Amino acid sequence: MRGSSGRFGAQLGVLATVAALALAACSSGTGTGGATPTTAGPVPGSAGAAGDAGGPTSSASGPATSGDGAAGAGGAIGAAAGATTTTSAPTGLDRFDFLNFTYDFGPDLGKLTLVNGEYQKGNFGDLDFIRAELVRVATGDLTADGQSDAAVTLYFTTGGTGQFTDVFVYRWTSEGPALVARDGVGDRADDGVRRAEIANGQLVIDRYRGQGACCPDQVVRRLVAVQGNKLVDKAKEATFALITLDIDGVDAAKAQKVKFLPGTSTGFLESAVPTPPAVFDARQGQQLTLQVQETGRQLHVAPLDLVQNGTVVGTARVGAPLITALPTTGSYEIRPVVDAKAPSDLIVSAELSITG
């Protein structure tokens, strides 16, 4: 479901666990805080056909497709292999204070002014309860005018079980941000927003899908361009596996096998920490891209180690993806890096591609 009107719920970000924390914050009247949003890091390529047996890919054979915003094999949206950096201009909306800004949520909620990224009316459970929060801001030039525009992910709630998100896209003007369009409201596994990013002059939007609104098991990626006052899809949407490592009943010490969807070589890893490691088999020389992704300003995302036979092959961090040719054929693990200074609400949020 994607629409721009209706009664809304709240959607916090990457996990059902995190969403529950958000609702708890609503009921207590506390906020999530967070730093001023900044221009986001690189966006790895979406994949086309999977590699042959020996990797955690599907049974489809052939190399992964990559390109620069082109449609890949099977309709997957491609990007430059490894990492495509967000286009960012020295002027425009890069430094605009979206944490303290008025957003038009349409006829039901009207205009809400966020202060330090938050708005709340009443208490959770009240008939007139409203809460809204800024989740994330991505900036880059969407209109080819040399100025940075912005994609602002917001969540909002009027109570109940529904948890909804939307992406508000703004273009730069000399008088400040002007709303181009909203991408549409989603509810958790029913098109809830996972992440919106700007790369190569286009908007990359990842949304959750699943069998029910509660439980996402896929991520759908769309490549979107601004045309006038509209958002226009530029390629067929691509669907990838959402690999939740800490599902109910899983021992935190037991490894979780990475399984991509048929015809793809990309998946998304999510969990709270502690979490079982993600494991996969791969061949020597296959290309691995592991990107740790911030999906919300209030979330603490763990760095990830790639490990083989107890030896760390490399580490991925926010803004510094691990891009490497795998050194040997065999089994690999992906483990969060946790030290004594790590926050208690640490999570795993990453995009994994294995090609070749």
For residues 46 and 240, what is the distance between their CA atoms, to the nearest angstrom?
A: 9
Give one DSSP letter per residue of 252-311, joined into a string: TTS-EE--PPTT--EEEEEEESS-PPEEEEE-TT-EEEEEE----TT-EE--EEEEETTE
The DSSP call for residue 175 is: T
Q: What is the pLDDT of residue 73?
A: 28
Average pLDDT over every residue of 288-298: 91
Joined tokens for residue 36: 């001023």
Contacts with 167 (C-beta within 8 Å, 6 or more apart), sequence order: 151, 152, 153, 154, 182, 183, 193, 196, 203, 205
Confidence of residue 247 (pLDDT cuts 50, 70, 90): low
Average pLDDT over every residue of 137-163: 91
245-355 domain in CATH 2.60.120.380?
A: yes
Secondary structure, 3-state, 209-238: EECCCCCEEEEEEEEEEEECCEEEECCCCE
Confidence of residue 319 (pLDDT cuts 50, 70, 90): very high
Confidence of residue 190 (pLDDT cuts 50, 70, 90): confident
Considering only CA atoms, which of 179, 176, 221 is closest in space to residue 78? Answer: 221
Report whether 269 contacts 254 (CB < 8 A).
no
Considering only CA atoms, which of 298, 291, 86 is closest in space to residue 200? Answer: 86
Average pLDDT over every residue of 79-83: 29
For residues 255 and 168, what is the distance between their CA atoms, to the nearest angstrom?
A: 38
The DSSP call for residue 197 is: E
Joined tokens for residue 71: 């449609």
Least confident of 121-125, 172-176, 211-215, 265-269: 211-215
Residue 39 has pLDDT above 90, yes or no: no
For residues 280 and 310, what is the distance between their CA atoms, to the nearest angstrom?
A: 14
Question: Is 0.75 surpassed by the pTM of this model?
Answer: yes
Residue 334 has pLDDT above 80, yes or no: yes
Tens-digit pLDDT profile for residues 248-289: 555 556 788 999 999 999 999 999 988 889 999 999 999 999
Considering only CA atoms, which of 153, 133, 265, 134 is closest in space to residue 198? Answer: 153
